[in-house]
Structure 1
Amino acid sequence: MTRPPLGIIAGTGFYDLGGLEDTTDETVTTAFGDAKVTRGTWHGLPVVFLTRHGAGHSVPPHLVNYRANIRALADLGVRDVVAVNVTGSIDPELSPGDLLCLDDFLDLTRQRPVTFFDGTTPEGVVHTDVLEPYHPALRTEILEAASAAGKPIRDGGVYACFEGPRFETRAEIRLARLAGADVAGMTGVPEVTLALEAGLRYAAVSLVVNPASGVGPTTEPITMDEINAVLQASAADVLAILDELVHTRATFTDSDESPS
């Protein structure tokens, strides 16, 4: 039996996975629009890679077609999705370069299509449970891969998703912190909930690249130069975790559902 492909979704700074071989670019047409993916193998394991922002970071976070992206992965036979989110730290104990394996989220977006079930589909209105938005078994795989790769990662973290593309105000970050958020980003929702609706197992690694507005002693504005410098220094840690996770999966036979 052929193993289902692993889905990997990434955004800012992650446009090439490095280890992906025999790649082909493909446009997948779904009921919600087109999604562009790269198919290939990594350690012999089939992988479908999707970059949220498109070529040259041309799509802002509030205009990403999250429904088409998730639907395309499901249509291609993906069952498990590992996402990478670049974030700002709300928890002052987090520093640029730190990693978290997320376990909950806050949705502070305002204008995105957030569901496949908008009342126009045959299923009608569907209310999806989000008690465990990030799949526990897949989270365990990420944590074990990080340990094997020697990359420190926090077990758990709350992701506050803002609309973007502007950065957040100090008041918004204070509000998110009061609600228990650890990091701020612009792309994690509705991606995670759409994956749940599509029946996919989904987990996410958060890479901190800057203090969020008003966090820490700095009063300097957030800049892309600052973010890109951290990405250049820390992206390899994320890729090492992904490489170890894929390598571990590749050691299992085709009859295995997953290593977890």
Structure 2
Amino acid sequence: MTIGVIGGSGIYEALPLESTRTEDVSTPYGEPSSAVTLGELAGREVAFLPRHGEDHQHTPTDASYRANIYALKSVGVDRVISTNAVGSLREDLPPRTLVVPDQIFDRTKHRQPTFFGDGMVVHMSFAEPYCPALVSHLASAAEDATDADTATQEGGTYVCIEGPQFSTKAESEFYRGQDWDVVGMTTIPEAKLAREAELSYATIAGVTDYDVWKDDSEVSLQEVLANAAANQDAINAVVEHAIRTMPDDFESEAWSALEGTINTPAEAIPEETRERIDLLAGEYLE
């Protein structure tokens, strides 16, 4: 197995990877946010990629989502652990809580959510946007790897906004009215693309703020950065434990997600498109 990790540089620096090497990966979707770093942990190969680049230079909208997922797929990744900083929409999910969501509401506007198109139509199920098997494993790792002072929650809805601005008060109150749990800027289109690439994908999200709905708290970059730093050790511990305890017999329905989803006859798909998506869907077009 090769386990992909998408997150900030703090994750990479904390993981005790051995025999590390970097690999520059070119993709049909442009350049990834960074080179892929590969190494070994507990006998498992790990591939790390920073979502926003090594110097956090890419906005949530402009991050190289398609290239990043394609690059991980190309180096043999079959499951992805993502990390996110999020705002809380609930009083009982205070800053420094860890959440492993199982649902998404997409409020993004300007992102490319698919590898396909250009003469190839794919309609894929996305009812369970995070891989249930990996959600369960991450949640168990969060329970086992954190101390009594770190609250964790399995399940919940992550509403993904465009950014880079934070929510308005009206938006924040609307999200709360839907009984959603956390708000962030980066799980879409990452989760959609991971599903199209037939990768098992789930995230561990660290709460950094109460968004702007709480009367005595209005989110700021300074608050987000301070609480993100405070969450870092706990998230690092969860990711490392999840890798160390990944079952050898782990199975994911995501690994066959493309089966029966291609609506365009293979002979009608332009050759250029077929070449571009060969890594992702070539076996279904033979």
Common fold: TM-score over 0.5: yes
> Against the structure 1 CA distance between its residues 239 and 103, is the aligned structure 2 distance closer, same or farther, given a 3 Å change threshold?
same
In structure 2, the residue matched to 1:137 is 133
The one-character-per-residue Cα deviations of 1:168-226 (angstroms, maximum 9, x if unpaired) are 11111122222332111111101001111111111111110011012x2315x422221
Q: Does 1:10 align with 2:7?
A: yes
In structure 2, the residue matched to 1:258 is 250
Q: Which amino acid letter does the alignment assign opposite residue 41 of structure 1?
A: E
In structure 2, the residue matched to 1:76 is 75
In structure 2, the residue matched to 1:27 is 24
In structure 2, the residue matched to 1:120 is 118
- Describe the SS at the equivalent of 2:24: strand
Q: CA deviation at 1:143?
A: 1.7
Q: Which amino acid letter does the alignment assign opposite residue 17 of structure 2?
A: L
Distance in 1 between residues matched to 2:18 and 2:159, nearest whole Å: 34
Query: Is contact 1:95–1:210 with CA below 8 Å preserved after alignment?
Result: yes
Greater mean deviation of Cα atoms: 5-14 or 152-161: 5-14
Distance in 2 between residues matched to 1:259 and 1:143, nearest whole Å: 16
Structure number with greater Rg is 2
TM-score, normalised with respect to structure 2: 0.81
Match of 2:244 among 242, 247, 250: 247
Q: Does 1:105 align with 2:101?
A: no
- Describe the SS at the equivalent of 1:206: strand
Q: Which consecutive residues of structure 2, in runs of 5 or more, have no partner in the other structure?
A: 253-286
Q: Which amino acid letter does the alignment assign opposite residue 33 of structure 1?
A: G
Give the superposed CA RMSD.
Answer: 1.9
- Describe the SS at the equivalent of 1:207: strand
Query: Is contact 1:12–1:53 with CA below 8 Å preserved after alignment?
Result: no
| Equivalences for residues 36-51 of structure 1 within 5 A | 36=34, 37-51=36-50
The one-character-per-residue Cα deviations of 1:77-102 (angstroms, maximum 9, x if unpaired) are 11111111100111222111001111
- Describe the SS at the equivalent of 2:250: coil
Please identify which structure carries the higher strand content. Answer: 1
Distance in 2 between residues matched to 1:128 and 1:168, nearest whole Å: 30
TM-score, normalised with respect to structure 1: 0.89
Distance in 1 between residues matched to 2:20 and 2:212, nearest whole Å: 39
Query: Is contact 1:12–1:57 with CA below 8 Å preserved after alignment?
Result: no
- Describe the SS at the equivalent of 2:244: helix
In structure 2, the residue matched to 1:210 is 209
Counting aligned pairs with the same residue, the percent is: 38
Aligned length: 247
The one-character-per-residue Cα deviations of 1:215-253 (angstroms, maximum 9, x if unpaired) are x2315x42222122212222111111111111113xx6x
Distance in 2 between residues matched to 1:80 and 1:62, nearest whole Å: 23
